[in-house]
Amino acid sequence: MEESIELRLARLCKQCFGLEMLKLQEIPACGSDRKYYRLFMPAPAPKTIIGAWNTDLRENEAFVSFAQSFFSAGLAVPEIYAIAPEGDVYLQQDLGDQTLFSLLSAEWFPVKDKPAACFPQRLTSLYKKSLSQLLDMQVAGKNCIDYSKSTPSASFHKDAMHWDLNYFKYFFLRLLRIPFDEQALENDFRSLVDFLQTAPSDYFLFRDFQSANIMILENEPYFIDFQGGRRGLLHYDPASLLYDAKSYLPKNIRIELLEYYVSLLESKTDYPAEDFLRFFKAAVVLRLMQALAAFGFRGVVEKKPGFRESIPPALDLIKELMQDWDLPLTLPEIRDCFVRMLAMTELRSFQ
């Protein structure tokens, strides 16, 4: 009979720490198929550790490899204690239950719609700390990461960008019956990808840098869920964080945080601010289309909670982007699709 996940985690704890696990609690899953457990241990082991189970062995290998490299470089990631020989269970540092998203939920969401609501200064500070740590990770990844472990590809190359754009085409536009001219849309996809491919792309790209993947421990950010990381452009990750539909960041805060990241870029690297900003909005367009596809697939097709509800705030970000459109390329069919999306009142009904 196949051994249970719980028994395998207990055995791995015994092998790693030489101690018997006291008990374990399963942590509720979010959007992935991975399972996480909080394991309670006796001294001198850490009081609690996190046990993870995932049948995607390449994904596990990537996460463990990246985490070990970043931890050795002194960056804000969990320590990896052990991984089973089979590669499907591993143990990592417990960073608690508080995420940047949970703090947004507690401190910002209840007041965000009130007249004269002000975004909490504490959250602004945590966002800035997160952006600073992100840039350190992006730059360190140029030298300390083994990109042969990346999955499904070692870099965010042209094909990978096209995968995201086709994801948007099929699991948002077509799924929700938003009309489009297929050839014109493909032409815009090629223009967008070709433009982004001219940006420097030898940095670590987190891939899913959002508030739910930023743990807050003793008022400091730590990063998790970077198993999709690969070599890529700098712009995508700050775009992911600042244009995260689930966070409801006010526009003025988003501008302040972008200016802060650019100031860090100028002080920590030789990347000119003007060059960075030239590509940034194009990366925002790419990320928002990828996110909308995920909301369509996860929320409408798979009916997982929390995804359909993110479509209306994502449309608000699209509307804002259209009002301030200053990309150095026109993308007429993408813009027309955005106009059609904004005109469809039924998309606003997802709650």
Query: Do residues 173 and 112 both lie within one domain?
Result: yes
What distance in Å separates the CA atoms of residue 167 and residue 219, rounded to the nearest whole number? 36
Q: What is the tens place of the pLDDT at every residue in 275-316?
A: 999 999 999 999 999 999 999 999 999 998 889 999 999 999
Residue whose entry in the numeric block shows the structure tokens 């998790």: 224
For the chain, state the CA radius of gyration: 21
Q: What is the tens place of the pLDDT at every residue in 137-149?
A: 999 998 999 999 9
pLDDT mean over 198-223? 96
Q: What is the tens place of the pLDDT at every residue in 237-256?
A: 999 999 999 999 999 999 99
Domain CATH code at residue 123: 3.90.1200.10
Query: Do residues 81 and 110 both lie within one domain?
Result: no
Domain CATH code at residue 53: 3.30.200.20
Which domain covers residue 164, as residue numbers?
100-349
How many domains, in total, are found in the chain? 2
What distance in Å separates the CA atoms of residue 234 and residue 273, rounded to the nearest whole number? 12
